[in-house]
Amino acid sequence: MEAPDRNIGLDLVRVTEAAALSCSRWLGKGDKIAGDQAAVDAMRLSFNTVPLDGIIVIGEGEKDEAPMLFNGEKVGMGLGQAVDVAVDPVEGTNLLAYGRPNAISVIGVAPRGSMFDPGPSYYMKKLVVPAEARDVADLDAPVGDNLRAIARALGKDVDDLVVFVLDKPRHKDLITEIRRTGARIQLHTDGDVAGSLMAVDPTNVVDVMMGTGGTPEGVLSACAIRAVGGRMLARLDPQKDDEKKALIKAGTDTKSILTEETLVNSDDTYFAATGISGGTFLRGVRFTGRGAVTHSLVLRGKTGTMRRIESHIALEKLMRFSAVKYD
């Protein structure tokens, strides 16, 4: 038996809060680079207060030539547990830029050496289901067979299901097949970390997430899925010739099926997310005139604890000493 120890997730949520608050000033202004830069700057500065010895394994930015916390960058105070860190200061930069729902700021943490390194892989095919359906999901099964099996495991009819799919040209056939089964669809332009979490959240209307999304986002999602249960099945799915050539040159296996357990091979994970633009997953930053209100999710894999946090921030007092700029 162990006495309660420190939950680093409660430190990490202050980092995602800072990033969300800082970039939310750019909501709907059409400049995703400026919004992302604000989040990156706030996240990097806030990490300096977290008592961990972190190295970024999953850093966003290379694929889109955006501002980034780069792979290999050291974060934290250099104290305590040595960890791998996955970050996405703004998951859904276009969602932020155009004022669309479900932009979030996200961090995942796991013991050093436990995170899958995607190397030159940017995209992977994914299937995410709740815990009740983890044993029936099959990445290679026909869409209709998969959805019927998942529906049975959830005690639902197929036409009760809601499937999260990214609204991309590559998913034209997938969308047709889902509709043919009678299942319902939520189409989202971006944000497949949020989509994965919706699929495993028992309070959310989404039952399944299907389709090809980001490889870094897959590793981030795995940190959360290991904490709350559910199943992710994935396979690297390069979308452009340059990505395919880079994977071949690196000798990367693109045929094997990955799971949340191979993407993060420890259940001692932490995950924190703060809503930016609001939506069905997390409510967004709301400025009140006197301050701001944020809504966050914190998960700890070791204990399976989920916390939903509403923070009321007195910006006038905070800005008297904060190095992070929120105005």
Q: Residues marked as binding for substrate? A: 91-93, 123, 168-170, 190-192, 214
Binding-site entries: 36, 60, 88, 91-93, 123, 168-170, 190-192, 214, 217
Contact 174, 125 (CB under 8 A): no
**What is the distance in angstroms between the CA of the first residue and the CA of the last residue of the chain?**
46
In SS3 terms, 240-292 reads as CHHHHHHHHHHCCCCCCCEEHHHHECCCCCEEEEEECCCCCCCCCCEECCCCE
Binding-site entries for Mn(2+): 36, 60, 88, 91, 217
Q: What are phi and psi of 70, to 5 degrees?
A: -85, 155
| CA trace torsion 90, 117, 197, 255 (10° rounding) | 130
d(CA 90, CA 195): 15
d(CA 236, CA 209): 16
Longest Cα–Cα distance in the chain: 59
Q: Which residues have a Cβ under 8 Å from the Cβ of 316 and sit 6 or more positions away?
A: 290, 291
Contact 115, 264 (CB under 8 A): yes
| Alpha-carbon torsion (124, 130, 136, 142), positive or negative | negative
